[in-house]
Amino acid sequence: MSTKENKDLVYRNSMQDAAGIRNMVAGNDEFHAPEFIIHDHRGDSTLKQFHQFMSTVVDAFPDIKYNAEDIIAEGDKVVCRYTWTGTHKGVFQGIPPTGKRIKLEGILIAKIAGGRQVEAWVVTDRLGVLQQLGAIPTGSPPK
């Protein structure tokens, strides 16, 4: 695939809403290869484990919306800076629903082969999400 096609693949994946994610995890995943591995705060996860995690995220934030902010590509790698927003209406990482609207920022580096993502490295602002949900105090700036 060309660099442009790789960017387009990651862009389409990065612009999903809850319905798109539910469709993806139900077995209609056009974005990830069966051997997909993701490296993130949970460690290394298979495609099945990634789908299970995304199901819990959509259950907790049923109005979730991803948005690609920047996409940069070279060769078989694509970098995407993204945000997602959603309203906390279900249990998320043990935190009962708060009804709060949150915004998460993250960066994804995806390796593409055969027209699908085969590997990804993801870093997100998990602390910011926990603070927005009220699970961790925001603290005061130093004086």
Percent helix, strand, coil in the chain, to 5, is: 30, 40, 30
Q: Which helix (H) or strand (E) holds 79?
A: strand 77-87
CA atoms within 13 A on the CB side of 101: 3
Structure tokens at 23: 């469709």
Tokens encoding 55:
């199901």
Count other Cβ atoms within 10 Å, centred on residue 35: 12
- How many Å separate Cα 97 from the centre of its chain? 20
> How distant, in Å, are the alpha carbons of 9, 28, 39, 132, 134 from that of 73?
11, 25, 19, 32, 36
Beta bridge partners of 85: 65, 103
Residue 75 dihedral angles phi and psi, to the nearest 5°:
60, -130
**Among the listed ranges 36-50, 74-88, 109-123, 128-142, which one has the minimum average pLDDT value?**
128-142
Could you give all domains of the chain from N- to C-terminal order, each with its CATH number?
Answer: 3-132 (3.10.450.50)
Task: Label residue 36 exposed, middle or buried (CB < 10 Å: 0-12, 13-18, 19+).
Answer: buried
**Mean residue pLDDT across the chain:** 94
> How confident is the model over 40-84, as pLDDT tens digits?
999 999 999 999 999 999 999 999 999 999 999 999 999 999 999
Which band of pLDDT confidence, cut at 50, 70 and 90, is reported for residue 139?
Answer: confident
- The answer, yes or no, to whether residue 141 has pLDDT greater than 70, is no
